[in-house]
Structure 1
């Protein structure tokens, strides 16, 4: 059986002529322009916040020094799709609005590696226009005054390339998946949109760079080890600056001892030594066996930090005796002393001296004196009732 294949009708002459002219026009406009330039709108001013994403005024050099910083323009030029039509790049103000427009680009996992995913992501975010300075100010005002989601969307998408630039700066320090840094930087960018005040007179890209870096740095610190390496302000300061300060002192001919580093960074010697140990040692699992021929783990050899069984039982017995005999002393106390006993000495969540004082119209010091006298009464009473009673069993609450 023969199957005949029907040919599609040939386009008419006017249609062919229009297509030919359009292709010639596009080729003429784009022929002498690099891939990076093709991604920029025609009328973008040179003073646009993100026109030069590699400038020092846009993204300061991170606190953690880098050996080399990739140029985003080179990256965009390398990843730009060949033959991309200028019409595909939206001019400022042409970003589609409406419910369907609030879908931000995402890093989609696929079969390819990190470079392939980043390639596709760069292709997607390069289609969003770079805003003019006056547009940024107007959009920021709408976000601040009315919470306009359209304006917030346009501010975020126009600066996604800035996030990639900063994330690439930190890649050498992170030495792992740069896509994680891009995602954290995007969160910082959205936070910057929420906090930005256009009346301060600074460009949004400069302001956003600080939030992007802050979120990326926090992510690096939180994930540097399986166990969180820095939780206090001092620890975060040392995490970012300890090794850099040590190298600076060595280059000047000084011996970077813990004492010298302590004075230079304004922290204690103990903090220096603790962070030095955290940075120099790797994580270790306590559940791994200590040998091939045994089932014992490191956890089995760790000393118990809490009280032993004997101590726990003794404390439980003492507490029961105390409560039993305290019941006999309550009738001997005044109403005020009984209230202090219940709210200050027997409560799991004791109130403050000031709260008791406000209740009875007396000073905080007067409440402390009544409490001290109450404790003395309890000691004397229990000493007579319980053999081998120790005064240390009663904890004074100052």
Structure 2
């Protein structure tokens, strides 16, 4: 532990001469502060060694920025930096998905559990009281309570899980699976090319009838409309159509086999 005079002298030496040995002494003399603060975050289930290491980074930042002529002790100045680094570490590692990003969310994350009277869900009155105390909205209190009460769920099934089922099974979309998409594209292309090839085997009149009856965007022509166009009976158009479809099926089968 350093006296105020020793601390002031070391900080002045660091600030004036960039003396790393002075910085080391200031850091080493305040490691106990980091350990003490880290114990206060034991309830978050993270390794104490990791919290202490993050706190040490905050302490080193504080030493670097400390100005001895401000009239305050390094301890008071460093607490903010130590806690800030620990808070960032907790928020990054407490859950797989970061639980608090905005300032009100961070404030709620580090205070909500200690302000709750028990494990039961907050009542409307309690939520409003906490919101007033922390200067946030009641709905933000409710949202944070929901976030903190939830748990991470593994996307993949555990190897030891007898049921062998996991959320990834719900998320899988076989329709968009790359190999399936390529198969559909190849099939569609084959169908398009096959139909075009089958049409090319028809004479002009037969092709006109098939296109008018089956490939038109406006719903297709009737047998009587085509009969009037070609000057034959509707029955004759039906016969030509049937013969053309048979010929196209044969061409498509041959194309598929090839």
TM-score band by shorter chain is 0.5 to 0.7
Specify which of 146, 167, 172 is matched with residue 277 of structure 1.
Answer: 146
Mark the CA change 1:285 to 1:245 in structure 2 (over 3 Å): closer, same or farther: same
| Aligned with 1:287 (options 138, 142, 156) | 156
Question: C-alpha separation between the residues in 2 aligned to 1:266 and 1:205?
Answer: 28
TM superposition shift of 1:194: 0.9
Q: CA deviation at 1:229?
A: 1.6
Deviation digits for residues 343-395 of structure 1 (CA, Å, limit 9, x no counterpart) = xxxxxxxxxxxxxxxxxxxxxxxxxxxxxxxxxxxxxxxxxxxxxxxxxxxxx
- Whole-Å separation in 2 of the counterparts to 1:298 and 1:200: 56
Return the offset for 1:255: 5.4
Aligned to 1:208: 78
Distance 1:293 1:159 in 2: 51
User: Is the CA contact 1:221–1:229 (under 8 Å) kept in the aligned structure 2?
Assistant: yes
Equivalent of 2:64 in 194, 197, 221: 194
Say which SS state the counterpart of residue 145 (structure 1) adopts: helix
Do 1:235 and 1:271's aligned partners in 2 also have CA atoms closer than 8 Å?
A: yes
Output the CA distance in 1 between the equivalents of 2:139 and 2:124.
18
Distance of 2:113 and 2:17 partners within structure 1? 46
Contact 1:222/1:230, CA 8 A, preserved across alignment? no
Residue 237 (structure 1) aligns with: 107
For 1:1-398, what aligned pairs fall within 5 Å after superposition?
130-171=1-42, 173-247=43-117, 256-288=125-157, 297-302=166-171
Q: Assess if the C-alpha contact under 8 Å between 1:155 and 1:193 holds in 2.
A: yes
Q: 1:257, 1:169 → 2: CA distance? A: 24
C-alpha displacement of 1:145: 2.9
Equivalent-residue separation in structure 1 for 2:6 and 2:132 (angstroms): 48
Q: State the shift of 1:256 in Å.
A: 3.9
Q: Is the 8 A contact 2:46 2:90 kept in 1?
A: no
2-structure distance, mates of 1:202, 1:293 = 61
* 1:277 Cα offset (Å): 1.4
**RMSD between superposed Cα atoms in Å:** 3.3
- Whole-angstrom distance in 2 between the partners of 1:292 and 1:136: 58
Separation in 1, partners of 2:132, 2:39: 34
When normalised by structure 1's length, the TM-score is 0.38
Q: 1:33-67, CA deviations, whole angstroms, 9 ceiling, x for partnerless residues? A: xxxxxxxxxxxxxxxxxxxxxxxxxxxxxxxxxxx
Instruction: Call closer, same or farther: CA 1:284–1:142 in 2, change over 3 Å.
Output: same
Q: CA deviation at 1:260?
A: 4.6
Of structures 1 and 2, the larger Rg is shown by 2
CA contact (8 A) 2:62 2:78 kept: yes
CA distance in 2 between partners of 1:301 and 1:242 (Å): 33
Q: Secondary structure at the match of 1:226?
A: coil
Shift of 1:206: 2.0
Q: How many Å separate the matches in 1 of 2:75 and 2:117?
A: 32
Q: Helix, strand or coil: the match of 2:155?
A: coil
CA offset at residue 193 of structure 1? 0.4
* Deviation, structure 1 residue 165: 2.5
Q: How far 1:164 sits from its partner (Å)?
A: 2.1
SS in 2 for 1:247: coil
| Structure 1: tracts of 5 or more residues without a match | 1-129, 310-398
* Structure with the bigger percentage of helix: 2
Query: Could you tell me how far apart the structure 2 residues matched to 1:208 and 1:261 are?
Result: 28
With the length of structure 2 as denominator, give the TM-score of the two structures.
0.56
- Could you tell me which runs of 5 or more consecutive residues in structure 2 were left unpaired when the two chains were aligned: 179-258
